[in-house]
Amino acid sequence: MSRSLPSVRGSLPFVWLTLLFLFCAFPALVRAQQPDEQSRANIAGTVVDPKGTPVVGAQVKLTRQDQSKDPSSAQETLTGDDGQFSVPAIAPGPFQLTVAAAGFATETTSGTVRPGESFVVPQITLRLATEVTEVQVVLSPIEIAEEQMKEQEKQRVLGIIPNFYVSYIPDALPLTSKQKFRLAFRTSVDPVTFGVTAAVAGVEQATDEFNGFGQGAQGYAKRYGAAYADTVISTFIGGAILPSLLKQDPRYFYKGTGTKRQRALYAMANAVICKGDNGHWQPNYSGIIGGFASGAISTLYYPPEHNETDLIVENTLIGIGATAAVNLLQEFVLRKLTPNLPKHNPPAQAPAGN
């Protein structure tokens, strides 16, 4: 035992030196095994839609080239009410962000963050996903009126006689001035118009009406020209020029509801009233004044004996009565004989009455 004591005492300095080394070196070894907290970085950014509105609840996923080196490098978060997100305590180096949200296409962005940096990602704009994109085409009032007018131009009684100046759409939009003139022109150059004019001139020739025109081919040509001029002038003045100036609708609006008496009164009243472009009913100045105007102009090409003022007034009043009769036919007969009606559900019919 006397020999072992010196050996033990001789080893004590080594033991104490070893313990002192471990005590001093241990913290350094621990720090060497863990990344320095001060070297970690933060990543933040904002997610918006194509209009710049913040996207709430978008999923933001951060990935690294080698996630095995640091498990914290793979993180996910959601954007807040302001569309912003933040991924804290990120190890420095390259990264990639993947942003996904319902209704939007997935977007990715990448970058490199330095130690201790607060990296702000450029604003991320999500595009609408193709499969959920909804496109709504809204037509302007002029475009809707154009479509309605094209349907009217298909209306022909028995599939032959033009029936362009009646609307079977009760709330049809008003026509523009250009559309009113086009409808008048379309009516004036329709083949049926030329055919009817030829028949009228033939009857006048046979009965020697307007004998100042004479007989023969020359007399027939004058009667034909006068009859066609009457149609064109009255159509343009009463159906285009005055309606454009006075903002009135030259069409007859089919009623189709109510008792027979109500519908008959409505049809006859429409000879002297009309719907304005503002949708309100008003005196039909276009039709009445147009009748007088076209009668006055006709004095320029009819024989003098048929140009008295009282005849102009009489013919205008007869024209109003004829319009009322045609309106009655429109309300009760012509609709049944007119194919190619607008593709709209007809108004519900009220119980028939007197």
More confident residue, 91 or 283: 283
Environment class of 240 (CB within 10 Å of its CB; exposed 0-12, middle 13-18, buried 19+): buried
Do 43 and 96 touch, CB atoms closer than 8 A?
Answer: no
For residue 313, the model assigns a pLDDT of 85
CA distance 276 to 174: 8
Q: Is the pTM of this model over 0.75?
A: no
For residue 38, the model assigns a pLDDT of 62
Taking residues 96-104, report their average pLDDT: 92
For residue 67, the model assigns a pLDDT of 56
Q: Find which of 22-31, 32-41, 276-285, 310-319 is predicted with most confidence, using mean pLDDT.
A: 276-285
Domains with residue ranges and CATH for the chain: 40-129 (2.60.40.1120), 141-337 (no CATH)
Kindly report, residue by residue over 66-79, the tens digit of the pLDDT. 655 555 556 899 99
Kindly report, residue by residue over 186-242, the tens digit of the pLDDT. 999 999 999 999 999 999 999 999 999 999 999 999 999 999 999 999 999 999 999
- For residue 62, give every residue at least 6 positions away whose Cβ sits within 8 Å of its Cβ, in sequence order, or none: 43, 73, 74, 75, 76, 87, 90, 95, 96, 97
* N residues, the chain: 354
More confident residue, 52 or 16: 52
Bridge partners of 193, per DSSP, are none
Tokens of 23: 């005590």
Please count the CA atoms within 13 angstroms of the CA of 230 that sit on its side-chain side: 22
Read off φ and ψ for residue 78, nearest 5 degrees.
Answer: -120, 150
pLDDT, the chain, mean: 84
Tokens of 65: 């080239």
More confident residue, 37 or 145: 145
Grade residue 33 by pLDDT with cuts at 50, 70 and 90. Answer: very low
pLDDT of 10 above 50: no
Bridge partners of 47, per DSSP, are 124
Report helix, strand or coil for 34. Answer: coil
More confident residue, 20 or 109: 109
Q: Is 343 left (phi over 0), alpha (psi -120 to 50) or beta?
A: beta
Taking residues 230-259, report their average pLDDT: 96
